[in-house]
Structure 1
Amino acid sequence: MHALIVVSHPHPGSLTHTIARSFAEGVATSGGHTAEIADLAAEGFQPAFNQADRAAYLLQNPLPSDVVREQERIDRADALVLVYPIYWWSFPGQLKGWIDRVFSNGWAYDEAPDGTLKKRLARLAVHLIGIGGAESGTYARHGYDQALRTQIDHGIFDFCGARVVTSEFLLGASTQSAAGHIATARILGTQAFAREAAAASA
């Protein structure tokens, strides 16, 4: 099986990138599976939802070619993995814009003129890894952890029918905690397709 790991951070030497690579290494050691890392910053993905995107959302024009390329990458994958730093208690802007543009009407879901909705990503397993500097107590005390899961796990992926398998926050990111977070990411990678493997052998 194949995992597409989408990472959003401008610095390739960041902990975010290291965690993405560690997850990919875990996938590679888990028994014949493969992983591809999509580095949105290095690839220069343009996140701003524009007039062409709006016309495509309204099903008036075809999707822009850069959006089609991203959708094709997801279509080739059995799992989508998002690895990102938490900025202002949410996604970085580039990753949010990637979702805005790529998860389009007619591909991620079908919205009929009468408002009825068909979810189109039921086949897709999703793994979410957010990396934050604040401690877990801060997230729990202010409800940031639940707010993130509400807007991302439910608001985005449940809306499209995708199954969120992993939803992890690696918090208190520091020199002391980095090694543990990297090790956790590798373990998560080795387990990425465990559910599918269990179902196949049942």
Structure 2
Amino acid sequence: MHALIVVAHHNPLSLTHSLATHVAQGLEGAGHTFEIADLSAQAFDPRFSAADSAVHHKQAAPPADVLAEQARIDRADALVLVYPVYWWSMPALLKGWIDRVFANGWAFDFSADAPLEKKLSHLRVHLIALGGADGETFERRGYTQAMKTQIEHGIFDYCGAQVMTSNLLPDSETQDPAIHLKTAQALGRTLFS
């Protein structure tokens, strides 16, 4: 089986990147293949432009960079998103990747005269969000549920994709990183179990 691991962090030495690498090691150790999409290193443009709007309204074909990302997802049996939590959500780089890549006509089919068609029912999604705050803060303020509603339901369920695992790894700035790295490697090992 093959996984696409999408990482959204500007620093290749970050804990976020290390988590992605550990997921990959777990996958490899279990006999699976992977590809890492480092959105920052590849300078993916997250800005939803007039061209993207034309795609949404089915007035134009997706641009080459979007088609390349869609092809990466099409080759994968699972999609793994690894990202830091910024302001109780994902970074703009990752959100913009989703805005542009999960386009009308590919991820879903929407028009005013027909019911919504969810086109990614074959896609299995795994989320790894790295939070600086402690878990109690996420729960007490309702951030965990808000993130689930926004990301799991609002994005992936809308397209028919199934979120198989959703891991919020809190205390990233105070806890021993080895704990989170072990979790990431275990996820990689069992991703296709």
SS in 2 for 1:43: coil
- Correspondences of 1:19-34 after superposition (within 5 Å): 19-30=19-30, 32-34=31-33
Correspondence 1:130-149 to 2 at 5 A: 130-149=129-148
Per the alignment, residue 65 of structure 2 pairs with 66
- Structure 1 residue 64: deviation in Å? 0.7
**What count of residue pairs does the alignment treat as equivalent?**
193
For residues 61 and 133 of structure 1, the distance between their equivalents in structure 2, rounded to whole angstroms, comes to 41
Give TM-score, length-normalised by structure 2.
0.98
- Rounded Cα–Cα distance in structure 2 between residues aligned with 1:25 and 1:66: 27
Aligned-pair Cα RMSD in Å = 0.9
TM-aligned CA deviation for residue 175 of structure 1: 5.7
- Taking the aligned partners of 1:75 and 1:107, their CA distance within structure 2 comes to 10
User: 2:2 — aligned with what?
Assistant: 2
Separation in 1 of the partners of 2:57 and 2:83? Answer: 30
Partner residue, 2:180: 181
Query: Is 1:158 aligned with 2:157?
Result: yes
Match of 1:96 in 2: 95
Residue aligning to 1:41: 40
2:13 equivalent to 1:13? yes
1:61-120 per-residue CA deviation (whole Å, 9 max, x = no partner) reads 111110000000000000000000000001100000000000000000001222520000
* 1:111 correspondence with 2:110: yes
Letter in 1 for 2:81: L
SS of the equivalent of 2:36 reads strand
In the alignment, the residues of structure 1 paired with residue 157 and residue 56 of structure 2 have an alpha-carbon distance, to the nearest angstrom, of 19
Match of 1:173, SS state, is coil
CA–CA distance in 1 between the matches of 2:97 and 2:114? 24
SS at match of 1:181: helix
Q: CA distance change for structure 1 residues 175 and 47 in 2, over 3 Å: closer, same or farther?
A: same
Task: State the SS of the aligned residue for 2:150.
Answer: helix
- Bigger share in helix: 1
Structure 1 residues 143-196: Cα deviation after superposition (integer angstroms, max 9, x where no partner): 0000000000111000000010110001001364210000000001111000xx
CA distance in 1, matches of 2:149, 2:113: 26
TM-score after normalising by structure 1: 0.94
Secondary structure at the counterpart of residue 41 of structure 2 = helix
CA distance in structure 2 between the aligned counterparts of 1:176 and 1:166, rounded to whole angstroms: 22
Moved over 4 A (4+): none
User: For residues 90 and 125 of structure 1, what CA distance do their matches in structure 2 show?
Assistant: 20
C-alpha distance 21-59 of structure 1, shift in aligned 2 (>3 A): same
